[in-house]
Amino acid sequence: MDHFTYRDGRLHAEEVTIAAIAAEVGTPVYVYSRATLQRHFHVLREAFQGIDPLICYAVKANANLAVIHTLAALGAGADVVSGGELRSALAAGVPAGRIVFSGVGKTADEMAAALQAGVCQINVESVPELEVLSAVAMSLGRSAPVAIRINPDVDANTHAKITTGRREDKFGIEWTAAHAVCAAAAALPGIDLRGVACHIGSQLTGLEPFRQAFMRLRDLVVMLRADGHAIHSLDLGGGLGIPYGCEDGPVPAPAAYAEVVRETVGAIECRLILEPGRLLVGNAGVLVTRVLYVKEGATRTFVIVDAAMNDLIRPALYGAFHAIVPAIAADPAVETRPVDVVGPVCESSDTFGRDRALAPVAAGDLLVVRTAGAYAATMASTYNARALVPEVMVSGERFAVVRDRGTIDDLLARQRIPTWSSDDAAVTVGAVT
C-alpha cells in the first residue's frame, strides 16, 4: 500500500495534489510520501516481532537525507557502501552503532572513516580487503568489527545485472572457503571477527532462493562455531521484491519472508541484521513529468515528456517496468490507445514504456511514473547536460523541497577550459612522431 491515490479524479500524494506540487516546483520532479515510508518500515518490523533484528536501510536505494532521517527516527540503521553514504547516514541522524559498511571495493580511507565513526560492523568481501582493513585498524589503534560476506552460490532468479549470490558474481567469499578465510581473519591483528553476512540479489519475487541461502548460512555458522569462532551476528542482506504494476505476479509479503527467516535461522542465537532498501522506499516515490509533444510516427505514437533516462535509468538499464498514469484521471468512457512514453535524450533507450494504454494526452498534461522511490534519484546523471531534478517530500497537507533543482550554471561552474600557450594552439596534425 502507498499514499498516492486519486480523489475527485486528481492524483494525490497524501493530502496534496500532484498538480499543486508540479505548479510550484516544476517538472520533472521526484515526490516522496513520508507516510508510506513510515508504513513500510512498521510493516517490516511487525513481521519480525519476537526476533527484533537490526533493520539497516540500504542507503543506495535512495540517499536523500530526508528519506534516511524519516527511517532513522523510527529506529532504522543504515547499510552503506561508500564513504559518501556513510557521511549521509550520519548527517541524517543514524547512530554510528546502527551502521553496517558493506561493499566489494572499500578504500583504506573509507575503512578509516568507518572505524573512526564507530560503525556497528564492516562486511568484508575478500582476503586482500581483510588485510588492508587490518593495517588500517592497527594504524588507528582500533579493533575492526568484521563480518565475512559469504557468496552462497544461490541463483536469486532475478535480473542478471542485480543478482549477487552466484559463484561467478563479484560479491563475497565462496562459501566453501569460509573456514580458511575466517581462520585468517581471526589471526590478523586489529580484526574482531563477529559474524557472517550474505546478500544474494535485488528484487527477488520468490522465497526459495532466500531459504537456500539462509540454510547454507545456518550450517556455516554451526561449523564456524565448531572451529572455535564466536559468531554473534548474522547479516541476511536485503533483496525482497516489490510490485511494480507489471504482470510478473504477486511478490511475497514481509510476513512470509519473516517466516522463512524464522524457519531457517531463527534458533541460531545470533543478532540478525536486515538490509532492506527498495522494499522501504520503492513505492514511496514517483517521478512527475510533463508532456512536451505527442508525435505521430509511421507505426507508433510517441508521447514525449520532459523527464528522461538520466532521471530514471531503470527502464533503459534493466528493461524495468514502471506503471505510468495521468495526474488527472481520464474519463472511463474515453478509449485508450497504445503509446510509447519517451524522453528527450538522444538515445533510443530513453523510453519509459512501450505500448502503454493511455487515454489521449496533450502537451502540458502531467504524467506520473510510479514506484520511482528506489534507484531513481540515486542513479540519476547529468547526461546531455541535463541538470539534476528536485526531490520533494510530502507529509500530510504539507510538502517541502528536500533537494533543490540543479541548474546548468551548477554544471558549468565545476568545469574549466585550460589556458594553454599560443604555441600549443599552433600545433598541427602530424607534429607528433
Q: How distant is the alpha carbon of residue 116 from its chain centre?
A: 25
Neighbours of 264 (CB within 10 A): 20
* Start-to-end C-alpha separation, the chain: 67
How far apart, in whole angstroms, are the C-alpha atoms of residue 25 and residue 274? 36
* Rounded Cα–Cα distance for residues 76 and 98 (Å): 8
Distance, in Å, from the CA atom of 159 to the CA atom of 24, rounded to the nearest integer, reads 38
**Non-local CB neighbours of 277 within 8 Å, separated by 6+ positions:** 57, 58, 59, 60, 61, 62, 79, 202, 238, 374
* H-type alpha helices, 201-330: 208-226, 254-265, 278-281, 314-318
C-alpha 202/C-alpha 318 separation (Å) is: 12
Which residue(s) pair with 273 in the sheet?
54, 235
Q: Which helix (H) or strand (E) holds 294?
A: strand 285-296
Q: Of the residues 182, 198, 270, 346, which is catalytic?
A: 346
The helix-helix angle for 83-91 and 65-72 (nearest 10°) equals: 60
Q: Give yes or no: 346 in active site.
A: yes
SS3 string of 92-157? CCCCHHHEEECCCCCCHHHHHHHHHHCCCEEEECCHHHHHHHHHHHHHHCCCEEEEEEEECCCCCC
**Where do we find the cell 527467516?**
261
Closest to 120 (Cα-Cα) out of 143, 141, 101: 101
- What CA–CA distances, in Å, run from 367 to 17, 321, 335, 352? 13, 15, 17, 11
**What DSSP element (H or E) covers 185?**
helix 178-187
348 CB-near residues (< 8 Å, 6+ apart)? none
Query: Per DSSP, what are the bridge partners of residue 57?
Result: 78
The C-alpha atoms of residue 44 and residue 115 are separated, in whole angstroms, by: 29
d(C-alpha 101, C-alpha 64), whole Å:
18
Which residues are marked as active site?
346
